[in-house]
Structure 1
Amino acid sequence: MDLNFTPEELAFRTEVQEFLRDKLPAALAAKVKAGQRLSRDDQSEWHAILNERGWFANHWPEEHGGPGWTPVQKFIFDHECALAGGPRIVPFGVNMLGPVLIKYGNEAQKNYWLPRILSGEDWWCQGYSEPGAGSDLASVKTTAEAGVDAQGAHYIVNGQKTWTTQGQHANMIFCLVRTDKQARPQSGISFLLVDMNTPGVEIRPIRTLDGDREVNEVFFTNVRVPAENLVGEENKGWTYAKYLLTYERTGI
């Protein structure tokens, strides 16, 4: 297929093809081509292979561990992966949260969370949708009340998220939470990072038609979250949520 690539882009395509031929496990490619669901171990294996090459976070800037690819290089990589049966990257940490942290996170958050996304130490899921607040995200009702105690500043989170894809695998979830009930809907939302092993977090599977549990409900009951897990400014989460969605939708 001739897409009028430059000589440099054609050389890059050859590099990608050679990488896939040498490094993409045949068993993984066979499962992808057969339309079979990949396990967490399958996805983690491909994550590690890409990260070792420095190609996992392929749209991140170089200073944060990305390869510094152009949009054409990213297209070539995605296209060649699809042809070869390469698994789709689990997007929640690298494609969604990562760009938000790079743009809006403080230095401590970037230094801590970004390397853990690259290494696979953290497996993220997305806490946006709620019953009654799916497409209308401004209607989220999960609350986060600020407080201070002997352990420091924190938020107490209560509420429910739903359609949480791969939540059963995740140890972390990024959430839209309501921190100001009096403000207009879009102005009272914050963006919070929650450890799913915290007491009060409960995951319940939503069984799909094929009997799988790809999606889940997540319940929060008096979940204590350190204040340093707030991304950006309090009540500015709507801005960060919209920025994230530009990566989610263009990725699809």
Structure 2
Amino acid sequence: MASKSSPAITLYRGWNTPNQYVWSPFVTKIEFRLRTSRTSYTCGVGGPRSGPRGKIPYLELKYPGSAPELLSDSTLILKTLCERDIVKDVNAGLEGGETGQDLAVRALLEDKLYFLQGRERWVQNYYTMRDHALWSIPYPMRVLIGLLAYRANVNRLYGQGAGRFSDAETRALIEDVWSGVSRLLEDSRRKAGDGECFWVLGGQEPTEADATVFGFVVSNLVCDAAPDTRRLLKGDFEICVEYAKRVHRAWFPDYEMWS
């Protein structure tokens, strides 16, 4: 329960799946930061059309006696929450090149992997993705909206560049990303005790990069529209799965774990 000086927080995740992770890595990214800061929040359903920027997630802050305030874009949401001391500024203590490393890891996943896995989800596994993303829209309207979403995603991915690769090239690029992340995690795990959480930059506490990495690992483990990446993580990059399991046990014990 929020105190008088603290806002009530509702995180709109886009799906009515309480106590479960959702397919969006950016939703889990914010949940990770809220939980590791021990900040109370509730989950709402919402949808892209209800959000300030037309996307998920978005967050509502309700201060006592004030109108609700909506925030959108995971990076900007967390920046605002840090500035208002609602969540801990976990990067404040980074030194030297650590700030650049943290930013590079986040950019690698959010600005590169996101589009590569968008191709896997929206092109290679379109029907699965459509029915999950547009779950609240009944047939036959879902078919029409799905086609529009498909075309919009294809055009966006082609313009960004990820849509110009073959399936084999896309998979190789995805492997490169997870290979780099895995090496960081392997170095970090050597310093951790049995069962303890270990963090991307190898420190004693998580940084913003951990919120992003955890979000992307879990997103792909629970997403039925990303079967190739799920197999890749479980088969070749088990360190990523172990990392996520330890975080899950420590900070998300009320959530269902992926199978």
Q: Relative CO higher for 1 or 2, CA cutoff 8 Å, sep ≥ 6?
A: 2
Higher strand share: 1
Would you say same fold, with TM above 0.5? no
> Please, what TM-score do these two structures have when normalized by structure 2?
0.23
Higher helix share: 2
| Higher gyration radius (CA) | 1
